[in-house]
Amino acid sequence: MQPSINRIGEVYEPFKVRFLERPIPPLAPDEVLVRVKASAICGSDLHIARGLHPSAPLPVTIGHEFSGDIAAVGSDVRKVKVGARVTVEPCIVCGKCDACRHGQYGYCEQISFTYRNGDGAMADYVVVKEPYVYELPDYLTYETGALIEPLSVATHAVRRADIRLGETVLIIGAGAIGMMVASMCRRSGAAEIIIADFSDQRLEMALQVGATVAVNSGREDLEEAVARITHGKGVDKSFECVGRESCFLQAIMTLKRNGTATIVGIYEKPQVQFPASRLVTHEIHIQGAQGYCWDFPIAIAAARDIPLEKFITHTFPLDQLQQALDTALDRNSGSIKVILKP
């Protein structure tokens, strides 16, 4: 029997949470009902909760990094059975545009995300389409399984950067994504992985999950530090995981000739100034990375060797969503990943 009522944590005003009950509609043939077991707060959730996300106006049910059990399946579902432990790729694509038909669904003209349609995972249940469900291997718990989504974002960025064995990498920003980029670069065979942040606590953690050198850019000029560490050579690849003009410049100015900067941060102030001559004199490449496309299976496989549990600093029951959001927002809480458990 399919459960009939869903409890949903909704942000109705900036940083104000209320709980609602909604009926769960009968499943379409290609849908599955996931009973949420763990749901992580993402930086973009905080952006939404501020009421500043252009495509997710309030009120909205946040949450797109989650895992759970299959509670019910539609009549055509074959890939998973009731009871399976799963995580979910939370995007919705049209399947009909040129990008989708070429398998590049990350470039779908109509890409959207489950939470923007009111199906956020700060809830007891979520309804999703069968193709976006991935079974969790035994080495993933519900909590670490909820972190496959941000790990997929990092996987996507690192695959785009085409990291090669023995390369030197710089990552600017030791938030969850920056640290996961460090983990994936390490797994991809990078030899030296420099990570920069203002927080010693975050840098300490980054060293535990894959970075090889930490630079506190509040105390030391980052360009000088990179020159010192690389004996003046610069790095092969850089990742900007902050979203700030000064970090964009650092990501470019620390590159070797023919190096590649991958921009992952979200720019609240989108305009940046940089010396375009550098593109010519150093033949550098600048690219962006957003979301994922066929990255979930790779992230799940890679997670066997990545200590994802280290990223989880706080866990709250779902009914304390308000406290959980306050903790994720509080810079002094030391939070990296805050997990809600219905």
- The residues that touch Zn ion, with contacts defined as CB under 5 A, are 42, 93-94, 97, 100, 108
Residue 199 has, within 13 A of its CA and on its CB side, a CA count of 16
Nearer to Zn ion, 94 or 272 (CB): 94
Asked if 315 and 339 touch (Cβ cutoff 8 Å), the reply is yes
Question: What's the rounded Cα separation, in Å, for the pair 196 and 222?
Answer: 7
Residue 27 Cβ vs Zn ion, minimum distance, rounded to whole Å: 23
Residue 247 Cβ vs Zn ion, minimum distance, rounded to whole Å: 19
Residue 104 Cβ vs Zn ion, minimum distance, rounded to whole Å: 9
**Residue 167 is which amino acid?**
E
Nearer to Zn ion, 120 or 234 (CB): 120
Q: Both tokens of residue 178?
A: 């920056």
Residue 105 Cβ vs Zn ion, minimum distance, rounded to whole Å: 6
Nearer to Zn ion, 100 or 235 (CB): 100
Residue 177 Cβ vs Zn ion, minimum distance, rounded to whole Å: 8
Residue 100 Cβ vs Zn ion, minimum distance, rounded to whole Å: 3
Helix, strand, or coil (residue 203) = helix
Nearby residues of 125 by Cβ (< 8 Å), 6 or more positions away: 3, 6, 24, 33, 34, 35, 36, 71
Nearer to Zn ion, 100 or 249 (CB): 100
Q: Both tokens of residue 65?
A: 């990094």
**Sign, Cα dihedral of 267, 151, 115, 312:** negative
Nearer to Zn ion, 108 or 247 (CB): 108
Asked if 211 and 171 touch (Cβ cutoff 8 Å), the reply is yes
Question: What's the rounded Cα separation, in Å, for the pair 137 and 135?
Answer: 6
Residue 321 Cβ vs Zn ion, minimum distance, rounded to whole Å: 16
Strands (E) located in 137-191: 168-172
Nearer to Zn ion, 108 or 213 (CB): 108
From residue 331, alpha-carbon distances to 175, 283, 325, 326 in Å are 12, 38, 12, 10
Q: Both tokens of residue 305?
A: 């060797």
Q: Which residues pair with 18 in a beta bridge?
A: 10
Nearer to Zn ion, 4 or 55 (CB): 55
- Rounded to 5 degrees, φ, ψ at 213 are -140, 135
Nearest residue to 68 (alpha-carbon basis) of 147, 7, 125: 125
Nearer to Zn ion, 148 or 286 (CB): 148
Residue 61 Cβ vs Zn ion, minimum distance, rounded to whole Å: 14
Nearer to Zn ion, 177 or 235 (CB): 177
Question: What's the rounded Cα separation, in Å, for the pair 63 and 138?
Answer: 24
Residue 107 Cβ vs Zn ion, minimum distance, rounded to whole Å: 8
